[in-house]
A and B are shown apart, each in its own frame.
Chain A
Amino acid sequence: MALLEVKKLGISFGGLRAVDDFSMSIEKGDLYGLIGPNGAGKTTVFNLLTGVYKPTDGTIFLDGQNLTGKSITTINKAGIARTFQNIRLFSKLSVLENVKVALHQHYNYSALTGVLRLPKYFKTEKAMNERAMELLEPFDLQEDAMTLASNLPYGKQRKLEIARALATEPKLLLLDEPAAGMNPKETASLMNTILTVRDEFGVTVLLIEHDMQLVSGICEKLSVLNFGQLLCEGLTGQVLSDPEVIKAYLGE
């Protein structure tokens, strides 16, 4: 059975049908790409998958669990984590704290333990620090652990968002335009990072991207959205040479 099973997903904003009859199936361990021209509804699909929007039609199943219409929090706990197209970090917290906040599902103590500074507080904080540093390591962010998130350069902010999403130990990681605004060198390093994330953390990755270098470089399968509808899906090579896809991107 597929890890993520989306069937006939649809949402309307007033009269506008933003996503219509969208189905997708992602196997465990896939590195899956979702592409399409601007305004095709890619981010809307992410927002539907993570519970930011409630779908008007269709179903979403993760690992056999029905997540249709669940809250953002519930969906994250079930195992979907995401990054955002416009970076959303906790800007006034340090890099380390950004990751530590996201560890709360696996390392936690009550507020009272924290206020009274019981032994469990020190033990858990130490474990959290170690785990957070482990998560920062593949992203080369260890040196910046004490820096405020808002003071990081752009490329590192993107990486920190991925590290934070991984801290919730998701089964499926959604990356919304991870290479946006990066130069070719940064993009190349990001491609390696994404591969590392998939292989070392054992996470299935679904990403939205416009950068065709990245898409053709690491994605194994693709779905193409156009005007809110699925245009084409399949292996990357086949999809990118499909005349319909080329037409949607470049026009006739």
Chain B
Amino acid sequence: MKLKINPAARKSYITYGLVLAAFVAVELLLNFGSPSNMFKGLLVTFCIYSIAAASLNLTVGILGELSLGQAGFMCIGAYSSALFSVATKDSITSVWVRFPLAILIGGIFAAIFGFLIGIPVLRLRGDYLAIVTLAFGEIIKGVFASVYVGYDSAGLHFSLKSEGDLALAEGGKTLIHGPQGISGTPVDSTFEIAFIVLFISLIIIYNFINSSTGRAVMSIRDNRIAAESIGLNITKYKLMTFSLTAFLAGVAGALFSHNLSILQASKFDYNLSILILVFVVLGGIGNIRGSVIAAIVLTYIPEALRKVNSDLANYRMLIYSVILIVMMICTSNAKIRGFIVGNLQKFKGLIIRKAPAAEKEAH
């Protein structure tokens, strides 16, 4: 019997197509249209949040564990990559060499932390995992917000008290200014680079899901005892997924830190983790494409509302929250959902009706 194309693989191709189409549309708009400055400024942010949301969906949707530490991993990625870029700004002048390296370093450091934290944390389940990852995110933020790092001829200096406490020799330079964070990071995150990183991230995520590893992870999610009974090493697969999520969050963090020249740890707070989780939940748990769409739409709405007119701008967070609630009801209420899905399928039927005939001719 001949096997049809794997439905999961088809999903990934549709997503690649949609993302590419969006990229082409935006490029056309940038070159031939007149997009607002607000829209131009948001383009990299779209990519950052899309990567963060899609990668969190690996842990929440594919592994089935609730993690609230995404901002923490982004923070690690942002700081490690920014430090690398600040330190090598003068020695490596080509953006195309320095920035990919910085992104990779951001990802790897976040993955290392993801792995180390994962070892104890993944023994917990459900609410406990959420609580511990939440605490972890806050600790990372707290540490980075209070550390001072500088270097001089004698080497690196650390302090948790103040900049003066570093006691740098003449000619020394401070790298991390405590709550003021890192300044002078080269602004390397262009929309094109951010898009390429997003596209590669999506390929990694989809290939991971559609491989034997991804299947094993999903089987653990669906039934842990049955997964063990067919000889799967639960801890290994959990750690792998958690580390990959952390890696991609670190990559998103690296894009974040190179999008603005000033980086502060206070940006990576609890709210950011929740925001990304909202993208994942409203986009559909386990639905990578949904995460990307939700990240873009829900980032754009509050900014767009700010622009409409000044009266509306005052109420924008109110409108935003109402939109969130409506979306939640629409995705969780079976009746409304059935109505939307049913109509979508009718709409699909109108377009694809002729497709099977065309397929036969091709054979």
Binding site for B on A (CB under 8 A): 50, 52, 71-73, 76-77, 81-82, 84, 88-94, 96-98, 100-102, 104-105, 107-109, 111, 113-117, 121, 124-125, 128-129, 133, 142, 145-146, 164-165, 167-168
Contact between B4 and A146, CB atoms less than 8 A apart: yes
Q: In the complex the two chains form, what is the Cα distance from A88 to B222 in whole Å?
A: 9
B309 within 8 A of A: no
Contact between B211 and A101, CB atoms less than 8 A apart: no
Contact between A101 and B230, CB atoms less than 8 A apart: yes
Taking CB atoms and an 8 Å cut-off, the chain B residues in 200-226 that contact chain A are: 204, 207-208, 210-216, 218-219, 221-223, 225-226
Contact between A76 and B218, CB atoms less than 8 A apart: no
Contact between B211 and A121, CB atoms less than 8 A apart: yes
Chain A contacts of B214 at CB under 8 A?
114
Chain A contacts of B234 at CB under 8 A?
73
Question: Which residue in chain B gives the minimum CB-CB distance to A94?
Answer: B7
Q: In the complex, which of the residues B218, B225, B232 contacts A88, with contact meaning CB atoms closer than 8 Å?
A: B225
B233 within 8 A of A: yes
A/B pair count, beta carbons within 8 Å: 106
- Known contacts A52-B225, A90-B219, A90-B223; A115 and B211 CB within 8 A of each other: yes
Q: In the complex the two chains form, what is the Cα distance from A113 to B7 in whole Å?
A: 21
Q: In the complex the two chains form, what is the Cα distance from A113 to B232 in whole Å?
A: 18
Question: Which residue in chain B gives the minimum CB-CB distance to A78?
Answer: B231
Q: In the complex, which of the residues A102, A114, A115, A133 contacts B230, with contact meaning CB atoms closer than 8 Å?
A: A102
Q: In the complex, which of the residues A84, A91, A114, A165 contacts B212, with contact meaning CB atoms closer than 8 Å?
A: A114
Min CB distance A142 to B, Å, is: 6
Question: Which residue in chain A gives the minimum CB-CB distance to B209?
Answer: A114
Binding site for A on B (CB under 8 A): 1, 3-4, 7, 204, 207-208, 210-216, 218-219, 221-223, 225-234, 240, 286
Question: Which residue in chain A gives the minimum CB-CB distance to B237?
Answer: A111
Q: In the complex the two chains form, what is the Cα distance from A108 to B215 in whole Å?
A: 12
The prevalent SS among residues of B at the interface is: helix
Chain A contacts of B216 at CB under 8 A?
101, 104
Q: In the complex the two chains form, what is the Cα distance from A98 to B240 in whole Å?
A: 20
Q: In the complex the two chains form, what is the Cα distance from A84 to B223 in whole Å?
A: 12
Chain B contacts of A77 at CB under 8 A?
231
Question: Which residue in chain A gives the minimum CB-CB distance to B206?
Answer: A115
Contact between A101 and B228, CB atoms less than 8 A apart: no
Contact between A82 and B215, CB atoms less than 8 A apart: no
Q: In the complex, which of the residues A71, A90, A121, A167 contacts B226, with contact meaning CB atoms closer than 8 Å?
A: A90
Chain A contacts of B221 at CB under 8 A?
92
Q: In the complex the two chains form, what is the Cα distance from A124 to B210 in whole Å?
A: 13
Contact between B226 and A115, CB atoms less than 8 A apart: no
Chain A contacts of B207 at CB under 8 A?
114-117
Contact between A100 and B230, CB atoms less than 8 A apart: no
Contact between B232 and A104, CB atoms less than 8 A apart: yes
Min CB distance B223 to A, Å, is: 5
Q: In the complex, which of the residues B1, B3, B208, B232 contacts A101, with contact meaning CB atoms closer than 8 Å?
A: B232
Contact between B233 and A73, CB atoms less than 8 A apart: yes
Q: In the complex the two chains form, what is the Cα distance from A81 to B210 in whole Å?
A: 25
- Known contacts A50-B229, A82-B229, A88-B226; A111 and B213 CB within 8 A of each other: yes
Chain B contacts of A165 at CB under 8 A?
229-230
Chain A contacts of B232 at CB under 8 A?
73, 101, 104
Chain A contacts of B227 at CB under 8 A?
90, 101
- Known contacts A92-B222, A146-B4; A168 and B230 CB within 8 A of each other: yes
Contact between A97 and B228, CB atoms less than 8 A apart: no
Min CB distance A146 to B, Å, is: 6
Q: Which of A91, A96, A98, A102 has the most CB of B within 10 A?
A: A102
Q: In the complex the two chains form, what is the Cα distance from A42 to B240 in whole Å?
A: 37
- Known contacts A73-B231, A104-B231, A168-B231; A114 and B213 CB within 8 A of each other: yes
The 10 nearest A-B residue pairs measured at CB: A114-B211, A76-B231, A88-B226, A90-B222, A72-B228, A111-B213, A90-B219, A102-B230, A101-B219, A115-B207
Q: In the complex, which of the residues B208, B211, B212, B219 contacts A93, with contact meaning CB atoms closer than 8 Å?
A: B219
Q: In the complex the two chains form, what is the Cα distance from A121 to B9 in whole Å?
A: 14
Min CB distance B92 to A, Å, is: 26
Min CB distance B239 to A, Å, is: 11
Question: Which residue in chain B gives the minimum CB-CB distance to A167?
Answer: B230
Contact between B226 and A89, CB atoms less than 8 A apart: yes
Contact between A105 and B231, CB atoms less than 8 A apart: yes
Question: Which residue in chain A gives the minimum CB-CB distance to B220?
Answer: A90
Chain B contacts of A109 at CB under 8 A?
211-212
Contact between A97 and B215, CB atoms less than 8 A apart: yes
Chain B contacts of A73 at CB under 8 A?
228, 231-234
Question: Which residue in chain B gives the minimum CB-CB distance to A165?
Answer: B230
Contact between B212 and A104, CB atoms less than 8 A apart: yes
Contact between B225 and A90, CB atoms less than 8 A apart: no
A sample of 7 more A-B contacts (CB under 8 A), given A77-B231, A104-B212, A121-B211, is: A84-B226, A90-B226, A93-B218, A96-B3, A100-B212, A101-B215, A115-B207
Question: Which residue in chain B gives the minimum CB-CB distance to A92?
Answer: B222
Q: In the complex the two chains form, what is the Cα distance from A220 to B223 in whole Å?
A: 33
Chain A contacts of B4 at CB under 8 A?
146
Chain A contacts of B218 at CB under 8 A?
90, 92-93
- Known contacts A97-B215, A111-B213, A145-B3; A91 and B223 CB within 8 A of each other: yes
- Known contacts A76-B229, A165-B230, A167-B230; A115 and B208 CB within 8 A of each other: yes
Question: Which residue in chain A gives the minimum CB-CB distance to B241?
Answer: A111
